[in-house]
Amino acid sequence: MAAAYDVCIVGGGVVGLWVARHLARAGADCVLLDRSKCGSGASGGILGALMAHAPDNWNTKKQFQFDALADLPSLITELEAESGLSTGYAQCGRIMPVRTERFQKQAIVRSEASRQHWRASKRSYVFELNGPDAVPVSMNPDLAPLGIIQDTLAARVNPSDYVKALQCAVSRDVEIIEDCSLRSVEISSGRIKTTNDELELTAKHVVIAAGYESFRLLEPVLGRVIGGGVKGQAALFECPDLADQPIVYDDGVYVVPHEDGKCAVGSTTEKQWSDPTAPDPERNDFIERSKQLCPPLRNAQMLRRWAGVRPRCNRTDPIVGALDDDRRILVATGGYKITFGIAHRMAARIADEVMNTSTKTELPTTYQPAHHLNASN
Ligand SMILES: Cc1cc2nc3c(=O)[nH]c(=O)nc-3n(C[C@H](O)[C@H](O)[C@H](O)COP(=O)(O)OP(=O)(O)OC[C@H]3O[C@@H](n4cnc5c(N)ncnc54)[C@H](O)[C@@H]3O)c2cc1C
């Protein structure tokens, strides 16, 4: 007889694992399938920057991300205590060099806006402009002639350690089946077909959280492809001189010091790719720019390179929610470059929808399936 679950979650990345955690805590009987190992997709990377949208021109999307980032410290404390594993999380802040008067003026506006909007119940955060004297030794002062912006909201996490801690905590209440790929779902019966022919499963709800591969899995249900994958590459250095320094960000280049004296740099943005996980040793532009930006990296030893594919919807924002009125098929993907900061909140909304709670985690309109499925797509 087929094993019957309330919910089958497809994908054991940061999103699927958070969905499983929220649902198990709400009392649902869940199974999670991963095609390979949990964390083998984009979530098993090395960068782990948790950075907010700019605080000016405030909207519900910025509020959603702010609430998610502000919630994270207490959720991480709970997760680390439960799993006994470190996630490498720290609210380390971020600095950005200021080179032009235009950026300087914009920073003044954003600084004011941060005082109004970056307020959580327990703490406020700032986006502050400081002069050239504030440039730390970790940054090349020639690239910051007008000073730096310092933001206290940004944080970092070690992506693969975070996923391991989540998997450890989730595995207590959820059956996790690895090396098992979803093939199809028979919507009327809830019967789930996988690459393991001996496995017989049914579920009342199926949550697709399979990263960029979600779009291919959803094609038979939606009749079209509403997103794809954008490859990115990063590199990890041994650089104790940058330990405890904030993230440095400049025009697409991230330098993210981690707790163990290692420092990750990234990343590329590649819409065309053939091998999803192969780093390209010729692709050194982001590494050269990181070294320009942060002099301590110049003599640091490179430990490894890494590549993965980020899920991105055609209509830019993530897609989160049920695709049908009976909530048989739900989807949570498309977090692109900000997934680590919002996965737990995307998942909280999915859990609310599955459990049909009377109040639901707020979701920006542009994250809702209707926005992505609009015929003008
Ligand atoms: C170079 C690089 C740097 C990045 N830096 C950051 C950063 O600093 N901050 C940030 O927030 N984000 C960053 N990202 C983006 C982030 O890594 C991703 O958006 C995020 O990991 C996506 O998580 P996910 O759970 O949606 O998907 P994934 O982590 O890809 O997980 C999907 C899972 O689904 C499984 N799967 C696929 N198909 C099936 C199937 N048919 N059946 C069963 N299982 C299946 C896969 O095996 C995988 O484990 C970066 C990405 C890259 C590539």
Token couple for 280? 């390209």
Ligand 1: which of 15, 34, 175, 249 to mutate, most ligand atoms within 8 Å of CB?
34
For residue 105, how far is its CA from the centre of ligand 1 (angstroms)?
Answer: 36
* pLDDT lower than 70: segments of the chain: 1, 375-377
Q: Is residue 210 included in any domain, yes or no?
A: yes
Asked if 151 contacts 94 with a C-beta cutoff of 8 angstroms, the reply is yes
**Predicted local distance difference test score (pLDDT) of residue 374:** 84
What DSSP line would sit under 74-113, residue for residue?
Answer: HHHHHHHHHH------B---EEEE--SHHHHHHHHHHHHH
290 lines ligand 1 (CB under 6 A): no
**Predicted local distance difference test score (pLDDT) of residue 349:** 98
Q: Is residue 310 included in any domain, yes or no?
A: no
**Predicted local distance difference test score (pLDDT) of residue 313:** 98
Count the residues in the chain: 377
Atom of ligand 1 nearest to the CA of 14: 25
pLDDT digits 0-9 by tens, 132-153: 999 998 999 999 999 999 999 9
Ligand 1: which of 158, 177, 339, 346 to mutate, most ligand atoms within 8 Å of CB?
339
Ligand 1: which of 216, 310, 367 to mutate, most ligand atoms within 8 Å of CB?
310
208 lines ligand 1 (CB under 6 A): no
Helices (H), 171-284: 214-222
How do beta strands 30-33 and 247-250 pair? unpaired
**Predicted local distance difference test score (pLDDT) of residue 364:** 98
Q: In the chain, how many domains are there?
A: 1
What DSSP line would sit under 281-331, residue for residue?
Answer: TT--HHHHHHHHH-GGGTTPEEEEEEEEEEEEETTSS-EEEESSTT--EEE
pLDDT digits 0-9 by tens, 88-108: 999 999 999 999 999 999 999
**Predicted local distance difference test score (pLDDT) of residue 187:** 87
For residue 306, how far is its CA from the centre of ligand 1 (angstroms)?
Answer: 13
Q: Is residue 302 included in any domain, yes or no?
A: no
For residue 99, how far is its CA from the centre of ligand 1 (angstroms)?
Answer: 33
Q: Work out whether the CA dihedral 113, 117, 123, 127 comes out positive or negative.
A: negative
Q: Is residue 151 included in any domain, yes or no?
A: no
**Predicted local distance difference test score (pLDDT) of residue 122:** 84
Q: Is residue 357 included in any domain, yes or no?
A: yes
Which range marks the domain in which residue 30 is found? 3-44+161-227+315-373
Please report, for the domain that includes residue 178, its CATH number: 3.50.50.60
Strand partners of residue 32 = 9, 176
Q: Is residue 207 included in any domain, yes or no?
A: yes
- Spatial separation of the C-alpha atoms in residues 118 and 62, rounded to whole Å: 10
For residue 13, how far is its CA from the centre of ligand 1 (angstroms)?
Answer: 6
For residue 210, how far is its CA from the centre of ligand 1 (angstroms)?
Answer: 8
Q: Work out whether the CA dihedral 276, 279, 280, 283 comes out positive or negative.
A: positive
Q: Is residue 331 included in any domain, yes or no?
A: yes
Q: Is residue 193 included in any domain, yes or no?
A: yes
- Spatial separation of the C-alpha atoms in residues 84 and 169, rounded to whole Å: 9
**Predicted local distance difference test score (pLDDT) of residue 1:** 66
**Predicted local distance difference test score (pLDDT) of residue 246:** 97
